[in-house]
């Protein structure tokens, strides 16, 4: 075979080899991390038992640290503080009543630094497991994980008022409910509390990467002020997204005022139109999210009770600026557009 004449075949072959190597490297790194976490669990458990059961005293950790660093001078992780972290980490989960094997399997899927951050900032085992699962699901860096914890994602997730239970299949309903939160915290906007809807919308789009981070994993941006013609009349959707895991469009309408019952009616119109004019047959029903400055939970519940389209209602908050060290971890607009284009090609069979 003449490689010069078959350049394309050669390049494709090289890419296959590269892909195989990368997959092997990922598997190896996961395996190494799992073994490291397993080792730290064993050490933490042993330290805990020596101090609590055999009453050796906490000073034994100082001696252990010195001996381990002497024996393994080229290995990090055996400092006094890290050994105490191993003990704290083990005791956090061992006191929870969960089966030890299941805990080890779960915590072994994220890096050591993530593990310590989670137990340090979590109030209970349920919160810790929530952040572990979110880290695995979204492949968060430690910086992004810390940011999400600081923004109290656990307290906000699944809190949006919605009618998903009566408008979506059970599995879809549960995932949609977990996807939404309340309130949404737009800590990356430079706006006053009296900002108009169009101002908020403009800044959300201009800060699309940070906005997608706050929305959560799976969201891809489709467009702003998306035009829809219904019986000769023009309507414009504030923000249109596509959710990869839910496999559906999500319409977001911004309201710089308190929620009003009539907003649900207009959202119902938009969802019906998107389902008829944009959604394909193999995609799930479109979901609506009304983001308001404030709301009455009772009025929101009543407004959604009789609607047949899946709608959620949540508040938003404009708070402080996003940390500078978080920005390098966010995807670029080009990356988002590439992901969205790939998603649409797959969904359309291209």
Top pLDDT among 3 and 61 is at: 61
The per-residue pLDDT for 121 is 96
Whether pLDDT at 320 is above 90: no
Q: What is the pLDDT of residue 339?
A: 52
pLDDT interval class at 124 (50, 70, 90): very high
Q: Which domains does the chain have, with CATH numbers?
A: 7-109 (no CATH), 156-347 (3.40.1350.10)
Q: What is the pLDDT of residue 35?
A: 87
The arithmetic mean of pLDDT across residues 60-71, rounded, is 87
Summarised one tens digit per residue, pLDDT across range 151-164 is 999 999 999 999 99
**Any idea which of 188-202, 264-278, 280-294 has the lowest mean pLDDT?**
188-202
The pLDDT assigned to 168 comes to 94
Average pLDDT on 280-299 reads 95
**Does residue 271 contact residue 251 with C-beta atoms inside 8 Å?**
yes
With CA atoms as reference, report the closest residue to 179 among 157, 201, 199: 157
Which range, 38-52, 92-106, 249-263, is most confident?
249-263
Q: CA triplet 90, 83, 131: central angle to 5 degrees?
A: 45
pLDDT in tens, 14-34: 677 677 767 766 666 767 888
What is the Cα–Cα distance from 210 to 321, expressed in whole angstroms? 11
pLDDT tens column, 253-269: 999 899 999 999 999 99
The Cβ-side half-sphere exposure at 16, using a 13 Å CA radius, reads: 6
For residue 59, the model assigns a pLDDT of 83
């Amino acid at each position: 075979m003449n490689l010069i004449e078959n350049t394309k075949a050669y390049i494709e072959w090289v890419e296959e080899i590269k892909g195989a190597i990368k997959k092997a490297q990922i598997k190896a790194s996961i395996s190494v991390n799992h073994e490291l976490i397993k080792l730290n669990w064993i050490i933490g458990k042993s330290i805990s038992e020596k101090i609590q059961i055999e009453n050796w005293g906490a000073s034994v950790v100082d001696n252990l640290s010195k001996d381990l660093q002497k024996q393994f001078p080229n290995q990090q992780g055996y400092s006094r503080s890290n050994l105490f972290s191993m003990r704290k980490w083990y005791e956090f989960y061992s006191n929870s009543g969960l089966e030890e094997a299941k805990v080890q399997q779960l915590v072994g899927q994220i890096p050591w630094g993530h593990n310590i951050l989670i137990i340090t900032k979590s109030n209970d085992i349920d919160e810790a497991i929530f952040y572990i699962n979110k880290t695995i699901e979204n492949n968060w860096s430690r910086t992004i994980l810390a940011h999400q914890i600081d923004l109290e994602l656990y307290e906000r997730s699944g809190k949006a008022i919605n009618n998903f239970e009566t408008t979506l299949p059970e599995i879809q309903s549960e995932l949609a409910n977990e996807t939404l939160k309340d309130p949404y915290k737009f800590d990356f906007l430079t706006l006053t509390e009296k900002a108009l809807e169009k101002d908020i919308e403009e800044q959300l789009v201009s800060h699309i990467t940070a906005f997608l981070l706050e929305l959560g994993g799976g969201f891809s941006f489709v467009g702003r002020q998306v035009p829809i013609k219904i019986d000769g009349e023009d309507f414009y959707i504030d923000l249109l997204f596509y959710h990869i895991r839910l496999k559906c469009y999500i319409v977001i309408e911004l309201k710089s005022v308190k929620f009003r019952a009539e907003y649900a009616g207009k959202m119902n119109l938009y969802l019906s139109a998107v389902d008829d004019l944009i959604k394909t047959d193999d995609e799930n029903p479109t979901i609506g999210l009304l983001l308001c400055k404030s709301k009455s939970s009772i009025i929101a519940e009543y407004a959604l009770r009789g609607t047949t389209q899946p709608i959620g209602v949540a508040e938003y908050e404009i708070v402080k600026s996003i940390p500078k060290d978080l920005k390098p971890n966010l995807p670029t607009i080009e990356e988002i557009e590439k992901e969205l284009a790939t998603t649409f090609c797959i969904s359309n069979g291209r």
